[in-house]
Amino acid sequence: MALPNAMTSFFASRRFRPGRWPTLAAIAFVILTVALGNWQRHRAAEKNALAAEFAAAAGQPPVDLTTRDEDAARLRFRPVRASGEYDAAHQLFIDNKVHAGRPGFHVVAPLRLAASSRYVLVDRGWIAQGARRSDLPVVPPPEGNVTVIGRVNLPPQHYLELRRESTPGPLWENLDIERIAAATGLDLLPVVIEQADPVEPADRLVRDWPAPDLGAAQNVSYMVQWYSFAALALVLWLALNWRPRDA
């Protein structure tokens, strides 16, 4: 009975009088932290969906992209093969790619699909940077008809760009398919093939493709953290605004 009596005494001697500015500050803080929690929840859901997509696609047999170019974007993560000829004149080097702690480039070349006027970008692999960044390595693509085997992927939609040149040369900061198509005049599919080993004839390129970032646990942890901050702010606002009746 002591607890109910203590609560009755507390409420009898105090009244709820929230201040205007503390209330506005609490509302703003709760809205912000709930929004951040919701964003982390959406990111976790996206990663879970991506993980399911990756697992389902990885176990599928290779698709012949030469005959399925109309729905290439829907083949993300699928093993594929594509036949055609490389356009060596438009081979690109994607800058700032690190492998095993060493700076280097991804070597990307357009492949003209057999019996088609369309091209697909093939990420042929990674190569180390030379003594000077401006000295690009000499790694020409194979000549003649080739068949490329690899995995379909989509380039990132958001990236950091330090400079934006209207007519860049062979060195690019990012794999931006739309800009590459505009600069080269090629009709490019909206995907890139990450080429798999073995490659004939052998070259010096490293093909170590990481799985996409599928870990949603960190996002869930951040989500709980932000929601906890919102709940704590609400509890503190309620507790601190019960004032003595004679105050």
- The per-residue pLDDT for 247 is 56
Distances, alpha carbon 5 to alpha carbons 9, 13, 241, 242, in Å? 6, 12, 21, 18
The yes-or-no verdict on residue 3 having pLDDT over 60 is no
| Structural contact between residues 120 and 187, judged by C-beta atoms closer than 8 angstroms | no
Q: Which of 183, 192, 201 is nearest to 139 (CA)?
A: 201
* Structure tokens given for 226: 């932000």
The yes-or-no verdict on residue 144 having pLDDT over 90 is yes
Q: Where are the domains of the chain?
A: 2-48+216-244, 78-195
Distances, alpha carbon 243 to alpha carbons 85, 169, 232, 236, in Å? 80, 70, 19, 13
The yes-or-no verdict on residue 52 having pLDDT over 90 is no
> Higher pLDDT residue, 69 or 236?
236
| Structural contact between residues 191 and 153, judged by C-beta atoms closer than 8 angstroms | yes
Per-residue pLDDT tens over the stretch 17-30: 778 888 999 999 99
